[in-house]
Amino acid sequence: MKTTMSTKLSLLLVLLLLVLGATCSFADDGDESNVSLSWDKARVYVPGSGKAVTPDKVKVAKPAPVIIYMHGCAGFNSESVDWGEYLSSLGYTVVQPDSFAWRSESNCDTKVKKSGLFPKAHGMRLQEIKYALEEVRKSPWADRNNIFLMGFSEGGTAAARTKLAGFSGVIITGWRCTNTKNPNFDGIFAPKETPVLTVEWNKDDWQTEFTKGSCSDKFGDRPKATQLLLPGNGHGVYDQVKARDAVAQFIKDNRKQ
């Protein structure tokens, strides 16, 4: 009887651990019921205006190409603002979903350059991209034939990981496309025919022992993949003229007329 009871308790313990493991495993298919908030609170920079508005306030003379820009783990900062203002000055509409509109926890500590504090964020970022793409395609102010995806840091990780088709190009910054510990983060997952531009520093303090590679190592047989490697140590790339020029040229080269 004791053996039977012990066996039952062991089985119950195993089942409990499995349930807890399923609950705590931060998969990419979380609760999507609130992802719309990331779109509703998004910052949108429209051509001819340096001021950001929400998607419902967008007014343009004619539809323009769209860049969906995914901010980093700290949310909106100077990097996202600068890119929004710059790309809109070139005639593009820049949509920046607000990840913190539907979550309160950050996945990083910028003071010590540590990430992984809220792993569920990675799956949420992929949901934000999917939702934003669907909404852009329905928006009268968007040139639906020219939708680009760009991301920085955590947002760059999401841009590298999305498997969605339909982007005219994907731009990855602040991420090395490498994780030797987790294959779900190791590589570029966009369809092979999707043009890709990666902008990286030669050294990045956010790197760990598992992420010391380079996106160019993951290009494989992609016919339209390009890397800009910046000399020195850095993370954000906007302040580099070469980076701005490369992004502008990439969008121009892959824009459908």
**161 vs 100: CA distance, rounded Å:** 20
**200 vs 88: CA distance, rounded Å:** 23
Domain locations in the chain as residue ranges: 30-254
**179 vs 233: CA distance, rounded Å:** 20
Per-residue pLDDT of the chain (257 residues; tens, 9 = 90+): 444 544 443 444 333 333 333 333 333 444 677 999 999 999 999 998 878 999 999 999 999 999 999 999 999 999 999 999 999 999 999 999 999 999 999 999 999 899 888 999 999 999 999 999 999 999 999 999 999 999 999 999 999 999 999 999 999 999 999 999 999 999 999 999 999 999 999 999 998 999 989 999 999 999 999 999 999 999 999 999 999 999 999 999 999 98
- DSSP character for 207? -
Dihedrals phi, psi of 207, to nearest 5 degrees: -65, 150
Asked if residues 197 and 169 have their Cβ atoms less than 8 Å apart, the reply is yes
Asked if residues 85 and 50 have their Cβ atoms less than 8 Å apart, the reply is yes
- DSSP character for 102? S
Assign domain 30-254 to its CATH architecture: 3-Layer(aba) Sandwich (3.40)
H or E segment at 133? helix 120-138
